[in-house]
Chains A and B, each alone.
Chain A
Amino acid sequence: GQSTSSSATTSAPSSSVSSGTTDKTLDLSDLSNTLVYAGESESTINPILNTHDEITDIIFSGLMKYDGDGTPICDLAESYTYDDPTLTYTFKLRDGVKWHDGTPFTADDVVYTYDVLFKDKTLSASITSNYKDIESVTAPDEKTVVIKLKQYNAAMLGYFTIGILPKHLTEGQDINTMPFNQAPVGTGRYKFVKWDTAGGMIILEANKDYYGKVPNIERIIYKTVAVESTKATMLQSGEADLAWLNAKYADSFRNNDNFKNIDFKTADYRGISMDCSTDFWKQNADSIGVLNYAIDKDSVVKSVLAGRGVAAYSPIQLNAYGGNKDADIYSYDLNKFAEEMDKLGWKKGSDGIYERNGQKFHFTIQVRDYEEERVDIANVCASQLKKAGVDMEVVLVSKFDWDAGYNGFLSGYAAQFDPDMCYSNFVTDASENLMHYSNSKVDELLEKARHTENPDERKELYHQFEKVYAENPGIVLIAFLDGNYVSIKGLSGLDTTRVLGHHARGVMWNIEDWTLNR
Chain B
Amino acid sequence: MKNRTLIKDIIIRLLGFVLAMFVLSVVVFYFARLAPGDPLQSFYGDATESMTSAELHAARVRLGLDAPIYIQYIKWFGNALGGDFGLSLKYKMPAMKVVSPLIGNTLILGSTAYVLVFALATGLAIACAANEDSLFDRAVCKIGTAAYYIPAFWLGVVLVLIFSINLKVLPSSGAYDIGKSGDVLNRIRHMILPLIVMILSHLWYYAYMIRNKLLDEIRKDYVLLAKSKGLNKREIIFHHCLRNVAPTIISIMAISIPHVLSGTYIAESVFNYPGLGSLSVESAKYHDYNLLMILVLITGFLVIFSSIIAKTINEIIDPRMKDSEVSAWQR
Once the chains bind, are A124 and B48 in contact (CB under 8 Å)?
yes
Question: Does residue B104 face the partner (Cβ distance < 8 Å to A)?
Answer: yes
Determine the chain B residues whose CB is within 8 A of the CB of A203 once the complex forms: 178
8 Å CB contact of A200 from B44, B52, B274: B274
- Chain B residues closer than 8 Å to A172, beta-carbon distance: none
Known: A36-B178, A182-B93, A399-B41. A225 touches B47 (CB 8 A): no
Are A125 and B52 within 8 A (Cβ)?
Answer: yes
Whether the pair B164, A43 counts as a contact (CB closer than 8 A) is no
Minimum C-beta distance from A190 to chain B (A)? 16
Q: Give A230 to B273 CA distance when docked, in angstroms.
A: 11
> In this assembly, does A234 line the interface, its C-beta being within 8 Å of a C-beta of chain B?
yes
- The reply on B160 being an interface residue by CB < 8 A is yes
A112: min CB distance to chain B, Å:
20
Contact B101 A227 (CB under 8 A): no
Contact of A239 among B93, B173, B175 (CB under 8 A): B173
User: Is the CB of B90 closer than 8 A to any CB of chain A?
Assistant: yes
Give the residues in chain B near A8, CB-CB below 8 Å: none
Q: Which residue of B lies closest to A229 (CB)?
A: B157
The distance from the CB of A451 to the nearest CB of chain B, in whole angstroms, is 22
Count residues on chain B whose CB falls below 8 Å from chain A CBs: 53
Instruction: Find chain A residues with CB under 8 A from B168 CB.
Output: 237-238
Contacts of B176 in A (CB 8 A): 199
Q: A198-B175, A200-B174, A200-B274 are in contact. Are A399 and B47 (CB under 8 A)?
A: no
- B49 at the binding interface (Cβ < 8 Å): yes
Other-chain residue from A29, A126, A201, A226 in contact with B51 (beta carbon distance below 8 A): A126
Given known pairs A28-B179, A236-B164, A237-B168, the reply for A400 and B49 (CB within 8 Å) is: yes
Q: CB distance A432 to B178 under 8 Å?
A: no
Q: Are A197 and B41 in contact (CB under 8 A)?
A: no
- Which of these, B87, B90, B172, contacts A237 with CB under 8 Å? B172
> Main SS of the interface on chain A?
loop
Q: Which residues of B contact A225 (CB under 8 A)?
A: 173, 272
Bound Cα distance from A412 to B87, whole angstroms: 30
Does B59 sit at the interface, judged by CB under 8 A?
yes
Query: Shortest distance in angstroms between A165's beta carbon and chain B's nearest beta carbon?
Result: 15
Q: Are A197 and B102 in contact (CB under 8 A)?
A: yes
Is A34's CB within 8 Å of the partner chain B? yes
Question: Does A424 sit at the interface, judged by CB under 8 A?
Answer: yes
Asked if A81 is an interface residue, CB under 8 A from chain B, the answer is no
* A223 at interface, CB cutoff 8 A: yes
* A-B pairs with beta carbons under 8 Å apart, 30 shown: A34-B178, A43-B90, A43-B91, A44-B92, A121-B58, A122-B59, A124-B47, A124-B51, A125-B51, A125-B55, A126-B49, A127-B47, A176-B92, A177-B87, A177-B93, A198-B181, A200-B273, A223-B174, A229-B157, A230-B270, A233-B165, A233-B173, A237-B164, A237-B171, A237-B172, A238-B168, A239-B164, A432-B50, A434-B49, A434-B50
| CB atoms of A432 and B92 under 8 A apart | no
Proximity bits, A22-56, B CB within 8 Å = 1, else 0: 00001111010010100000011000000000000
Across the interface, do B173 and A199 meet the contact criterion of CB distance under 8 Å? Answer: no
User: In the bound complex, what is the Cα–Cα distance between A179 and B98 (angstroms)?
Assistant: 12
With an 8 A cutoff between CB atoms, is B105 at the interface?
yes
Nearest Cβ on chain B to A323's Cβ, whole angstroms? 26
Binary interface encoding of chain A residues 216-255 relative to chain B, with 1 for a CB under 8 A from any of its CBs, else 0: 0000010111110110011011110000000000000000
A236 to B162, CA, bound (A): 11
Tell me whether B174 and A401 are in contact (CB under 8 A).
no
Q: Can you name the residue of chain B whose Cβ is closest to the Cβ of A36?
A: B178
B43 at the interface (CB under 8 A from A): yes
Cα–Cα distance between A9 and B68 once the two chains are bound (Å): 61
Judged by a CB distance under 8 angstroms, whether A438 is at the interface is: no
Residues of chain A lying within 8 A (CB to CB) of residue B179? 26-29, 31
**Does A84 sit within 8 A of B, measured CB to CB?**
no
| Contact (Cβ within 8 A) A237 B160 | yes
Task: Tell whether, in the assembled complex, residue A126 and residue B47 are in contact, meaning their CB atoms are under 8 Å apart.
Answer: yes
Given the known interface contacts A199-B274, A200-B274, A402-B49, the answer about A234 and B172 at a Cβ–Cβ threshold of 8 Å is: yes
Task: Say if the beta carbon of B37 comes within 8 Å of chain A.
Answer: yes
Question: A226: which of B105, B178, B269 is its contact (CB, 8 Å)?
Answer: B269
Residues of chain B lying within 8 A (CB to CB) of residue A26:
179
Q: Does the CB pair B173–A234 fall under 8 Å? A: yes
Closest 5 CB pairs of A and B: A28-B179, A237-B164, A124-B47, A200-B274, A197-B101
Chain A residue nearest to B91 (CB atoms) is: A43
B-contacting residues, A117-165, CB 8 Å: 121-122, 124-127
B272 touches A200 (CB 8 A): yes
A125 CB contact (under 8 Å) in B50, B87, B101, B181: B50
Residues of B within 8 A of A434 (CB): 49-50
Contact yes or no, A28 B175, CB < 8 A: no
**What per-residue 1/0 map shows which CB atoms of A171-209 lie under 8 Å from chain B?**
000001101011000000000000011111101000000
Q: When A197-B101, A198-B102, A236-B165 are in contact, do A227 and B178 touch as well, CB less than 8 Å?
A: no
A177 CA / B271 CA spacing, docked (Å): 29
* A199 & B172 in contact (Cβ 8 Å cutoff): no
Nearest CB in chain A: distance from B9 CB, A: 39
In B3-43, the 8 Å CB interface with A consists of 36-38, 41, 43
Q: Are A424 and B50 in contact (CB under 8 A)?
A: yes
Quick check: is A431 within 8 A (CB to CB) of the other chain? Answer: yes
Q: How far is the CB of B222 from chain A (nearest CB, A)?
A: 50
Q: Are A122 and B173 in contact (CB under 8 A)?
A: no
Most buried by A among B41, B52, B174, B285: B174
Contact partner, B274, options A44, A197, A401, Cβ 8 Å: A197
- Does any Cβ of B come within 8 Å of A357's Cβ? no
Name the residue of chain B whose CB is nearest to the CB of A123.
B47
Distance (whole angstroms) from the CB of B31 to the closest CB of chain A: 17
Minimum CB–CB distance from A454 to chain B (whole Å) comes to 30
* Cβ of B331 under 8 Å from chain A: no
- Smallest CB–CB gap between B155 and chain A, Å? 14
**Inter-chain pairs besides A199-B274, A200-B272, 15 sampled, C-beta below 8 Å:** A44-B92, A177-B92, A198-B102, A198-B105, A200-B174, A224-B274, A225-B173, A226-B272, A233-B160, A233-B161, A233-B172, A233-B173, A234-B173, A398-B285, A400-B41
